[in-house]
A = this chain, B = another copy of it.
Amino acid sequence: MAYAEQYIDKLRKSGLRPTKQRIKICKVLFNTDKTFHFTIKELVKIIENQANIKVSLATVYNTVHAFIKKGYLKEIPLNASQSYYDTNVTHHHHFFDEEENRLIDIHQDDVDEVNIKKTIPGKKIKSVEVIAKIVSDNQSQK
């Protein structure tokens, strides 16, 4: 299958050999039209549900980190005791639904360019991220 080639390519470019555990991880992460957000725990659960093979936590962590380093995944800064990861590596922003603990993408086009007037000597901006926390809009009950 052609898609397997892509995964092998991604793995090789990340400095990893394409083992069956890693290809399985790739399938879960990249074999879909839609990008998504996940925690390591959730990723492990998806793999367990789909797969006939066992993949250890250490391998999942290692592979995810290798992909982050290479730019195939992004880590999302959230105030939580656990990291969120994103298969959408384009520049974009997020809603974070505090009630459902869920991240929702905001396309770059949906936010005006964030213009920061302040500068720090000797430093340059590497990335700018907007996080908008959302909650239920319980309209005043008429």
Contact = CB atoms under 8 A, between A and B. Distances in A.
Interface of A: 75-79, 83, 93, 95, 97-98, 104, 106-107, 109-112, 114-118, 120, 122-137
A124 B131 contact: no
3 closest A-B pairs (Cβ-Cβ)?
A77-B79, A124-B137, A123-B134
Name A's interface SS. strand
A12 B59 CA distance: 50
B135 A124 contact: yes
Contacts of A112: 112, 114-115
Contacts of A128: 130-133
Nearest to A99: B123
9 contacts: A79-B83, A95-B118, A97-B123, A112-B115, A114-B114, A123-B134, A127-B132, A127-B133, A129-B130
Contacts of A137: 122-124
A128 B129 CA distance: 10
B123 A116 contact: no
A77 B135 contact: no
Contacts of A78: 77, 79
Q: Which interface residue of A104, A118, A125, A133 has the most chain B CB atoms within 10 A?
A: A118
A83 to B, nearest CB: 7
